[in-house]
């Protein structure tokens, strides 16, 4: 039976189990939009800006483990997706982005709304396609979904000229794919696993450094088994937060620039790093030449390109981390590491890192800890970028798997609101809290209309400090307090909420925090709270850029107001 390219696209999406498309229409995708109503299983959510569609698809993918789908028209619609695609690429999020393209005879003529989107997105996609024959539509969609979610996940873009969408061809959905050259290695090499086990069994001061790969492959139980059997402390990257229960005795929190001082100390002093599903980002390693100077490194990752990219590795193991850990766990002897654990525990006592100082004013950390308390740790937290992101990562105790969703690699302000929307659509039964900055929120604020139109019950907490706070913090510490372009005027967010037909509250005092969070939770639908927090609060601990992981600036102790001159701050270099 003959069908149009647009119908074949929809049929293929349905065959791939797609439930939702985040999109925004335009001339070059009109044939697809016209076909959509024939496929009621494909829910379309109309965003207000295509960047929102990409972040929503990304959030949906991270929350569900399925592929997130976004769609945009040619030209400006396609370029508006670019930030979201790059974001998904850096954080290994499985996404299929569909763009309309000008009709084939117009390609290369600078036609109206023509951009070379496959050229533009070449370095930020796992793969991309320009479909020049509707007969290739079904096969291409199947390939795209396979690539997006297998191996190391990532975004795949499919660009479809308008006339290809209208072309009538026979529809056959391929049962199998032939992708020569694409064979992700899933099983780790047995000899390497043996070597790793030997190192682990012999190590005196081992540390597990876990990343998002644990979450992607669902290796929670295997990670726990490894840590518990050999009594190894677990630290995580930002994107690894929630891959291991944070209240577990072996959990020592996040490492890196704003990681826990004791986690960084453990990483600096360890004799063996077991790095799992992470990529030694510079926010994790800090000064690379002095990263873990005494350690052997075992690196388990599905992407061979990550091995040896940033740090020297003694035992590389390429494979799916769940499968590798399953095999590795069989060779691990039960051990105690009593002295080492006591040492790390002592560091935790000496450098509490996330203690919230006494203050009568409304501290952002306090707000985050109360969101944890009221939600009983059951919520999925989505963040903006900046101080709000770090406080959200530090002060909510993540015990449930995959409950922090944040833009790590690209650090994209504006990710929060649309991503939270995608998370809630994918996980409707979980409470979803957006913890955002006043600056980040304003970057994609228009998606408030989307959550209202589709009644997506995201609870929003804006940590409103009146600044591009993280940049202000750097100016305070490293540019002698010259606050250039960081004081930020904001609209009245409660009125904005009202303007979008949303309930909203402003909170200025500590005692109003818990009642406001409860009110938001009890409300059946989206809800916004504007928390007017201490404007010049800083994120601690902090490893200054270029420093080693243990040159840690810690929170000034027992003072009402954070000291602003970094020279006065205690720097521990142990």
Binding site for Mg ion (CB under 5 A): 437-439, 465, 467, 469
CB of 439 to ligand TPP, least distance (A): 3
CA dihedral 227, 232, 233, 234 (to 10 degrees): -40
Residue nearer to ligand TPP on the CB measure, 81 or 468: 468
Q: Is 223 a residue that touches ligand TPP (CB under 6 A)? A: no
396 neighbors 377 (Cβ within 8 angstroms): yes
Residue nearer to ligand TPP on the CB measure, 493 or 500: 493
Residue nearer to ligand TPP on the CB measure, 239 or 550: 239
- Dihedrals phi, psi of 65, to nearest 5 degrees: 80, 0
Residue 384 contact among Mg ion, ligand TPP, none, beta carbon within 5 to 8 Å by kind = ligand TPP
Contact residue for ligand TPP among 230, 265, 470, 552 (CB under 6 A)? 470
CB of 561 to ligand TPP, least distance (A): 17
Residue 219 contact among ligand TPP, Mg ion, none, beta carbon within 5 to 8 Å by kind = none
CB of 255 to ligand TPP, least distance (A): 20
499 neighbors 520 (Cβ within 8 angstroms): no
Say how many C-beta atoms besides its own lie within 10 A of residue 424's C-beta. 28
> Element (H or E) spanning 276, and its range?
strand 272-276
Q: Is 388 a residue that touches ligand TPP (CB under 6 A)? A: yes
CA neighbor of 437 nearest in space, from 473, 480, 479: 473
CB of 468 to ligand TPP, least distance (A): 4
Q: Is 465 a residue that touches ligand TPP (CB under 6 A)? A: yes
Residue nearer to ligand TPP on the CB measure, 59 or 439: 439
Residue nearer to ligand TPP on the CB measure, 93 or 269: 93
Counting beta carbons within 10 angstroms of the beta carbon of residue 170, is it exposed (0 to 12), middle (13 to 18) or buried (19 or more)? Answer: exposed
Tell me the site size for ligand TPP, rule CB under 6 A.
Answer: 20
CB of 467 to Mg ion, least distance (A): 5
CB of 472 to ligand TPP, least distance (A): 7
Peptide linkage before 541 cis (omega within 30 of 0): yes
Say how many C-beta atoms besides its own lie within 10 A of residue 186's C-beta. 15
Q: Is 377 a residue that touches ligand TPP (CB under 6 A)? A: no
CB of 405 to ligand TPP, least distance (A): 16
18 neighbors 67 (Cβ within 8 angstroms): yes
Both structure tokens of 4: 């149009």
Say how many C-beta atoms besides its own lie within 10 A of residue 323's C-beta. 18
No. of H helices and E strands in the chain? 22, 22
Residue nearer to ligand TPP on the CB measure, 275 or 448: 448
Residue 269 contact among Mg ion, ligand TPP, none, beta carbon within 5 to 8 Å by kind = none
Residue with tokens 């479909």: 131
Contact residue for ligand TPP among 387, 394, 406, 444 (CB under 6 A)? 387
Residue nearer to ligand TPP on the CB measure, 369 or 387: 387
CB of 293 to ligand TPP, least distance (A): 30
Contact residue for ligand TPP among 254, 413, 549, 555 (CB under 6 A)? 413
Give the integer Cα–Cα distance in Å for 108 and 286.
Answer: 45
Residue nearer to ligand TPP on the CB measure, 31 or 384: 384
Say how many C-beta atoms besides its own lie within 10 A of residue 350's C-beta. 14
Residue 412 contact among Mg ion, ligand TPP, none, beta carbon within 5 to 8 Å by kind = ligand TPP
Give the integer Cα–Cα distance in Å for 157 and 150.
Answer: 15
CB of 258 to ligand TPP, least distance (A): 11
Residue nearer to ligand TPP on the CB measure, 411 or 525: 411
Residue nearer to ligand TPP on the CB measure, 387 or 403: 387
Q: Is 538 a residue that touches ligand TPP (CB under 6 A)? A: no
Which residue(s) pair with 95 in the sheet? Answer: 68, 155
Contact residue for ligand TPP among 57, 234, 255, 471 (CB under 6 A)? 471
Both structure tokens of 98: 């569909």
321 neighbors 211 (Cβ within 8 angstroms): no
Q: Is 469 a residue that touches ligand TPP (CB under 6 A)? A: yes
What residues from 424 to 463 belong to the interface with ligand TPP (CB under 6 A)? 437-440, 463
Q: Is 468 a residue that touches ligand TPP (CB under 6 A)? A: yes
CB of 438 to Mg ion, least distance (A): 4
128 neighbors 158 (Cβ within 8 angstroms): yes
Give the integer Cα–Cα distance in Å for 344 and 95.
Answer: 39
Local structure of 4: helix, strand or coil: strand
Residue nearer to ligand TPP on the CB measure, 317 or 420: 420
> Element (H or E) spanning 22, and its range?
strand 20-23
Q: Which stretch binds ligand TPP (CB under 6 A): 160-168, 324-332, 386-394, 396-404?
A: 386-394
Contact residue for ligand TPP among 174, 184, 352, 411 (CB under 6 A)? 411
CA distances from 397 to 67, 248, 409 (A): 28, 11, 22
Which residue(s) pair with 68 in the sheet? Answer: 95
Residue nearer to Mg ion on the CB measure, 11 or 438: 438
Counting beta carbons within 10 angstroms of the beta carbon of residue 201, is it exposed (0 to 12), middle (13 to 18) or buried (19 or more)? Answer: middle
CA dihedral 420, 425, 428, 430 (to 10 degrees): -20
Q: Is 541 a residue that touches ligand TPP (CB under 6 A)? A: no
Q: Which residues contact 522 (CB under 8 A, 6 or more apart)?
A: none
Catalog residues that contact ligand TPP under the rule CB under 6 A: 384-388, 411-414, 437-440, 463, 465, 467-471
């Amino acid at each position: 039976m003959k069908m149009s390219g647009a119908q074949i696209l929809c049929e293929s999406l349905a065959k791939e189990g797609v439930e939702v498309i985040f999109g925004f229409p335009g001339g070059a995708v009109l044939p697809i939009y016209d076909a959509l109503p024939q496929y009621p299983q494909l829910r379309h959510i109309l965003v207000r800006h295509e960047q929102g569609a990409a972040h929503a698809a990304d959030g949906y993918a991270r929350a569900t483990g399925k592929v997130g789908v976004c769609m945009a028209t040619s030209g400006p619609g396609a370029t508006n997706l670019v930030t979201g695609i790059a974001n998904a690429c850096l954080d290994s999020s499985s996404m299929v982005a569909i763009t309309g393209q000008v009709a084939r005879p117009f390609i290369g003529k600078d036609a109206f709304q023509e951009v070379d989107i496959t050229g533009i997105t070449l370095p930020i996609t796992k793969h991309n396609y320009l479909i020049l024959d509707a007969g290739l539509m079904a096969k291409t969609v199947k390939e795209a979904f396979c690539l997006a979610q297998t191996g190391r996940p990532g975004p795949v873009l499919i660009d479809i000229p308008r006339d290809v969408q209208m072309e009538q061809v026979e529809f056959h959905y391929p049962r199998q794919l032939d992708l020569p050259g694409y064979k992700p290695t899933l099983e780790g090499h047995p000899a390497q696993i043996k070597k790793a086990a030997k190192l682990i069994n012999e190590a005196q001061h081992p540390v597990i450094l876990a990343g998002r790969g644990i979450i992607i492959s669902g290796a929670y139980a295997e990670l726990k088994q490894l840590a518990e059997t050999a009594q190894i402390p677990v630290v995580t990257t930002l994107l690894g937060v929630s891959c291991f229960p944070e209240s577990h005795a072996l959990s020592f929190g996040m490492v890196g620039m704003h990681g826990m001082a004791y986690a960084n100390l453990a990483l600096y002093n360890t004799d063996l790093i077991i790095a799992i599903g992470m990529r030694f980002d510079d926010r994790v390693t800090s000064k690379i030449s002095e990263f873990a100077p005494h350690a052997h490194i075992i690196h388990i990752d599905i992407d061979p390109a990550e091995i040896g990219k940033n740090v020297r590795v003694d035992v590389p193991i390429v494979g799916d981390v769940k499968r590798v850990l399953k095999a590795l766990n069989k060779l691990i002897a039960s051990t105690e590491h009593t002295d080492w654990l006591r040492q790390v525990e002592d560091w935790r006592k000496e450098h509490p890192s996330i203690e919230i100082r006494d203050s009568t004013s409304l501290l952002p950390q306090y707000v985050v800890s109360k969101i944890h308390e009221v939600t009983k740790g059951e919520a999925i937290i989505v963040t903006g970028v900046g101080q709000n992101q770090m406080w959200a990562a530090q002060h909510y105790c993540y015990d449930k798997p995959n409950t922090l969703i944040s833009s790590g690699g690209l650090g994209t302000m504006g990710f929060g609101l649309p991503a939270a929307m995608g998370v809630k659509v994918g996980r409707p039964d979980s409470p979803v809290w957006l913890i955002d900055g006043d600056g980040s929120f304003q970057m994609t604020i228009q998606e408030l209309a989307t959550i209202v139109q589709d009644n997506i019950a995201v609870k929003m907490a804006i940590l409103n400090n009146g600044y591009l706070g993280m940049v202000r913090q750097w100016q305070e510490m490293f540019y002698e307090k010259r606050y250039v372009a960081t004081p930020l005027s904001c609209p009245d967010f409660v009125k904005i909420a009202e303007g979008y037909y949303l309930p909203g509250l402003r909170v200025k005092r500590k005692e109003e925090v818990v009642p406001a969070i409860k009110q938001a939770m009890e409300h059946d639908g989206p809800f916004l709270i504007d928390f007017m927090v201490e404007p010049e609060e800083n994120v601690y601990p902090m490893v200054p850029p270029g420093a080693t992981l243990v040159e840690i600036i810690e929170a000034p102790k027992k003072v009402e107001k954070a000291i602003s001159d970094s020279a006065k701050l205690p720097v521990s270099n142990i």
